[in-house]
Chain A
Amino acid sequence: MKCQQVDVNIERFLDSQLPILQHDAISAHIKTCSTCHTKLTKEKDLRHALKNLPVEDVNPDFLKEAMQKAHHNHKPEQKYFISGFTSAIAASLVVWFLSSNTIATAPENSQFPLISMALNKTRTVQMIFDSPGDFKAVKFNLKLPEGFEIAGYPGQKELDWRVDIKKGSNILTLPLIALTVGKGDLVARIAHINKSKSFRLHIRSKEENNLIL
């Protein structure tokens, strides 16, 4: 038995997929070869570490709720919000129009920014999220009100995707279209691990002649 043969067969050896004679030959070789012994030990250590990677248990409350939803809803479930956001991904939101460079301000009696749009015209809105750190695979969910769409995605009222965000300002560009005269809330949510934060933006659309920004 040569070391090269151990190299080639080390996985099958650990997976117990080798014929017994070959398995025994490798076992005997490893007892006398410190190089191969070290390799095998490293491979075993890696597999041990992989098997012991932490995983969280399922939340019983979630499970109960999920079962109930499965009972009562045979259609694909809409995404739901997690309450109880903590500050780990605390982010501030500023919204402005690319076209006007005007920072949208929240109207009186409202805590949310408001934008107005002309009917059937694409308006690019940039949302800036200031992140306190780097986060990988952050889930982003966008819900659009009736009568509004993202350009290129007709009929989709909800979009999900995942991105890495970096410390500092992260800019998301949304090409919005108003299909009907009306108003509603665009809700954007960032979720990471078990924390999430939602942002709400009032949108209203009018005939172009009646539009006052």
Chain B
Amino acid sequence: MGMKLKNSWKLMRFGKKTFEAILQPHIKHLYRVAYRLCGNTHDSEDLIQELLIKLYPQRNEMQSIEYLRAWMVRVLYHLYLDIKRREQRSPMAWLDNDETKLDSLTSNNTTPEALAEETSSQQQLINIVNTLNDDQRVLIILSDIEGYTLKELANILDIPIGTIKSRLSRARSQLRILLSREPYQQNYHANITKG
């Protein structure tokens, strides 16, 4: 399932590229994926920083990796999982924070101003995607948002294609269920109609 090392002749022909030159065609895409996974600038930048530090020692080998972009997304994803695990092991807990994600989304406690800021259907869709469990969210992000194929997903996530298919189908079903709940359905479809 791993990415193959290939085309080592390129190294001999073109010599060693700088790290920046290797990353340059891919970095915007990597940041996009990081941003989709993390949901905010700060965490995305942290994740990209960790990625660059991890990749730097492998800069020479990277020139020979087939499907380099997918390989780097795979590294990025595993770093993301590492960070999530570190955070989940934190001993700290906030008091009175027992709401489910969806409950917090449907809270009526927001001020009219705050509500107005968050009523865009795109933000709602992002919020709903974020209520999926981590496995489903990652599949929707990489497949339906970033457009990775099933084969690429299998490589990135280290999961057989058959499993990817069934999990992706479940993730999409769950997304539809969440979208069908009020008040998202009305706003979401209203936006589609406008578009």
Q: What residues of chain A have their CB less than 8 Å away from a CB belonging to chain B?
A: 11, 15, 42, 45-59, 62-63, 66-67, 69-71, 73-77, 79, 82, 133-134, 136-137, 139-140, 142, 150-153, 159-167, 170-175, 191-194, 196
Please list the 6 inter-chain residue pairs (A to B) with the smallest Cβ-Cβ separation, ordered nearest first: A161-B90, A58-B31, A70-B52, A194-B41, A70-B56, A161-B87
Least CB distance from B122 to A in Å reads: 6
A193 and B41 contacting across the interface, CB-CB below 8 Å: yes
In the bound complex, residues from chain B placing their C-beta under 8 Å from that of A191 are 40, 42
A66 and B90 contacting across the interface, CB-CB below 8 Å: no
In the bound complex, residues from chain B placing their C-beta under 8 Å from that of A165 are 94
B27 at interface, CB cutoff 8 A: yes
User: Interface range on chain B: under 10, 10 to 19, 20 to 34, or 35 or more?
Assistant: 35 or more
In the bound complex, residues from chain A placing their C-beta under 8 Å from that of B27 are 58, 63
Least CB distance from A165 to B in Å reads: 7
A66 and B95 contacting across the interface, CB-CB below 8 Å: no
B36 at interface, CB cutoff 8 A: yes
Q: A66-B45, A150-B91 are in contact. Are A53 and B52 (CB under 8 A)?
A: no
A82 and B42 contacting across the interface, CB-CB below 8 Å: yes
B55 at interface, CB cutoff 8 A: yes
A77 and B53 contacting across the interface, CB-CB below 8 Å: yes
B186 at interface, CB cutoff 8 A: no
B20 at interface, CB cutoff 8 A: yes
Distance of A73 Cα from B53 Cα, bound (Å):
7
A76 and B50 contacting across the interface, CB-CB below 8 Å: yes
Nearest chain A residue, comparing its CB with the CB of B39? A137
Nearest chain A residue, comparing its CB with the CB of B175? A46
B92 and A173 contacting across the interface, CB-CB below 8 Å: yes
Distance of A69 Cα from B48 Cα, bound (Å):
11
The stretch of B1-9, B60-68, B69-77, B109-117 that contacts the partner chain: B109-117
Q: What residues of chain B have their CB less than 8 Å away from a CB belonging to chain A?
A: 19-20, 23, 27-28, 31-32, 35-36, 39-43, 45-46, 48-50, 52-53, 55-57, 83, 86-88, 90-97, 99, 101, 104, 107, 109-111, 114, 121-122, 125-127, 129-130, 140, 144-145, 147, 150, 168-169, 172, 175-176, 179, 188-189, 191-192, 195
A49 and B122 contacting across the interface, CB-CB below 8 Å: yes
Distance of A196 Cα from B90 Cα, bound (Å):
20
In the bound complex, residues from chain A placing their C-beta under 8 Å from that of B109 are 134, 166-167
Least CB distance from B152 to A in Å reads: 13
A-B residue pairs in contact (CB < 8 Å), sample of 20 = A15-B150, A46-B179, A48-B195, A51-B147, A53-B125, A55-B36, A57-B31, A66-B45, A66-B52, A67-B52, A70-B52, A71-B56, A134-B109, A134-B114, A136-B130, A137-B39, A152-B91, A159-B91, A163-B94, A174-B92
B144 and A74 contacting across the interface, CB-CB below 8 Å: no
For the residues of B in contact with A, the DSSP-based class is helix
Q: A53-B126, A139-B43 are in contact. Are A160 and B90 (CB under 8 A)?
A: yes
In the bound complex, residues from chain B placing their C-beta under 8 Å from that of A142 are 92
Distance of A161 Cα from B109 Cα, bound (Å):
25
In the bound complex, residues from chain A placing their C-beta under 8 Å from that of B192 are 45, 48-49
B92 and A50 contacting across the interface, CB-CB below 8 Å: no
Nearest chain B residue, comparing its CB with the CB of A126? B95
Least CB distance from A64 to B in Å reads: 9
Q: A134-B104, A161-B92, A194-B40 are in contact. Are A71 and B145 (CB under 8 A)?
A: no
Q: A50-B145, A51-B147, A56-B35 are in contact. Are A62 and B40 (CB under 8 A)?
A: no
